[in-house]
Amino acid sequence: NAGVTQTPKFQVLKTGQSMTLQCAQDMNHEYMSWYRQDPGMGLRLIHYSVGAGITDQGEVPNGYNVSRSTTEDFPLRLLSAAPSQTSVYFCASSYSQRGGRDTQYFGPGTRLTVL
């Protein structure tokens, strides 16, 4: 298994541009989520999904959209990038939030810079 994969690894955007960060997992995990990591802070939850077709907001959702059309993929869209969105973005997945199998496994991250 490749686990959780993210593309791209690095990205530079200009203010106002849009882009999609890709996340995929091949472990048949039901639950997927996006976090951002800023200097001096831990990771903060942006959006999450408990299964295909179901998404919800996390702690810091403004400026981001998500959709989940398949179990494997969970893309994160920046509609109009702002410098405040400069961060490292992590995608994570787990089997479920129930049943004791909800340890989350993380992708390698995407470093995004917005100029």
Closest contact distance (angstroms) between CB of 115 and another protein is 21
Cis before 75 (ω within 30): no
- Residue closer to another protein by CB (options 31, 81) is 31
Closest contact distance (angstroms) between CB of 80 and another protein is 26
Residues near another protein (CB under 8 A) are 31, 33, 35, 40-45, 48, 50, 56, 58-59, 88, 90, 92, 94, 97-98, 100, 102-106, 108-109, 111
